[in-house]
Structure 1
Amino acid sequence: MKRAEVVRDYGGISAADRRAERRRKLISAGRRIWGESGLNEVTVRGVCASAGLITRYFYEQFESREALLFAIIDEVRVQLLEAMLVAGIGESGDLRDKLRAALTAFLNIVAEDPHLHRIVSGDVTGVPGLLEHRMQLLDMIVASIIEQAPSVLGARLPEPAILRRGAVFMVGGVNQIIAEWLRNPSNPDTETVEELASACAGLCVAVVQDTVER
């Protein structure tokens, strides 16, 4: 008969909080290794050593290395999407201003965190399903644009199919522009975050204007 696990508080910290803290350490270590050394260097042993935890605690949280990688992508996706939504919705200007604010927030996070660059743009084809999982960020941004469109466009809102097509076009196009910028964001000749965000916002507004006129 399996012995029931005894759950105790230590130093005023509950077992659930200790597990959550271990998970946080493992994800943080995985992000750091991935960002500094690449996806292939993210191993169970390496992550545990970096987090200062034994492997038993790793498998308490994740069934495999791949499960950790998916969790890292999830965390990054939430971080970026929340930043964009907060900045865009909080901006009181017109559509161009809202888009510029959202894109600036996104680009600032990616540009300032050296680990994110590799995570959001590096090759992940070696892990089945991870590329598709990472691309879900774009799907969520498309959904957010469609959701926010009525409050921005009002009576000029196009048919659902046309609106979705425009949102997909904007997100896909901006994503490619950002991916190219990320290849060398520190180059003196490269646009600044603000310049790139403004340029992308202008292109998006042009798409919207064409869409609502149809």
Structure 2
Amino acid sequence: MASMGRAEVMRDYGGISAEDRRAERRRKLLEAGRQMWGESGLADVTVRGICASSGLTPRYFYEHFPNREALVVAVADELYDELFEVLVSASLAESGELEDKLRAALKALLDAIGDDPQIHRILTSDWNGVPGLVKRRTKTLDVITDLVLQYGAELLDFEPESAETMRRGALFVVGGVNQLIEEWLRDPKESTAELAEICTWLCLTVVKAGQAEAARDTAR
């Protein structure tokens, strides 16, 4: 019975379960990693520094992450999830047509990046030294492409030639917009509204080209 009592205390210490304590420690580690990366740069993110900033020992770090790379990838994952939410929420909140939804989503995304210096530094860091981050960036473009296909297809007023044509168009749009945003991050000449307008116009140019091609196929 005494042994069970000690186990019970370990599971529920001070009214907080062991699972909740683990989740809180992970949150602290991620917050510390994001802050260090966002304020000092990726090269300054170290296990020792994260532990010192979070107030946790290396034992707890390695309880959640096998190495530094795993933590910075997790930080990037969380950041991208936040930005995905911004994109989707802004698009769904806009009641207009495709052009309006595109403009609203892109401006919301750019505002989120521009208003937070930490996000800006993280996104403009050189990720090439961390293989996991390079893979994550590629995966992110695929995720955004899937979001475009999921939420954008129903807004088109024409039937694309095929699902493959639709996906290629989405990949082209996502890749191009991503390049423009990366260039803007390095040298923000335009306001967020101006860049959102440019990206929207280019996206619609691709859509109109697809519409014209679909019309030609129908006429044949």
Q: TM-score under structure 1 normalisation? A: 0.91
Displacement of 1:109: 1.3
Which residue of the partner structure matches residue 31 of structure 1?
34
> Residues of 2 paired with 1:31 and 1:72: CA distance?
6
> Residues of 2 paired with 1:113 and 1:155: CA distance?
39
Give percent identity, aligned residues only. 52
Q: Which string of whole-angstrom CA distances, capped at 9 and with x for unpartnered residues, describes residues 66-101 of structure 1?
A: 110111111011111111011112211111111111
Displacement of 1:128: 2.0
Q: Is 1:54 paired with 2:53? A: no
**Aligned AA for 2:125?**
G
Cα pair 2:98 2:152 within 8 Å, conserved: no
> Residues of 2 paired with 1:105 and 1:11: CA distance?
41
**Of the candidates 128, 131, 137, which is equivalent to residue 128 of structure 1?**
131
Q: Which has the larger radius of gyration?
A: 2
Equivalent pairs counted in the alignment come to 208
Displacement of 1:173: 0.8
Displacement of 1:154: 4.6
Secondary structure at the counterpart of residue 128 of structure 2: coil
> Residues of 2 paired with 1:195 and 1:69: CA distance?
32
**Aligned AA for 1:195?**
E
Note the residue ranges of structure 2 that are not aligned, 5 or more in a row: 214-220
Q: Is 1:108 paired with 2:107? A: no
**Aligned AA for 2:51?**
C
CA RMSD after TM alignment: 1.9
Cα pair 1:100 1:201 within 8 Å, conserved: yes
Q: Is 1:197 paired with 2:196? A: yes
Q: Does the C-alpha gap of structure 1 residues 114 and 199 become closer, same or farther in structure 2, counting only changes over 3 Å?
A: same
Displacement of 1:127: 1.5
> Residues of 1 paired with 2:137 and 2:20: CA distance?
28
Cα pair 1:91 1:98 within 8 Å, conserved: yes
**Aligned AA for 1:30?**
G
Which residue of the partner structure matches residue 211 of structure 1?
210
Secondary structure at the counterpart of residue 93 of structure 1: coil
Which residue of the partner structure matches residue 44 of structure 1?
47
Q: Greater CA deviation, 129-138 or 164-173?
A: 129-138
Note the residue ranges of structure 1 that are not aligned, 5 or more in a row: none
More helix by share: 2
Cα pair 1:104 1:194 within 8 Å, conserved: yes
> Residues of 2 paired with 1:22 and 1:83: CA distance?
26
**Aligned AA for 2:190?**
E
> Residues of 2 paired with 1:24 and 1:86: CA distance?
24
Secondary structure at the counterpart of residue 210 of structure 2: helix
Cα pair 2:70 2:132 within 8 Å, conserved: no
Q: TM-score under structure 2 normalisation? A: 0.88
Which residue of the partner structure matches residue 151 of structure 1?
154
> Residues of 1 paired with 2:13 and 2:114: CA distance?
40
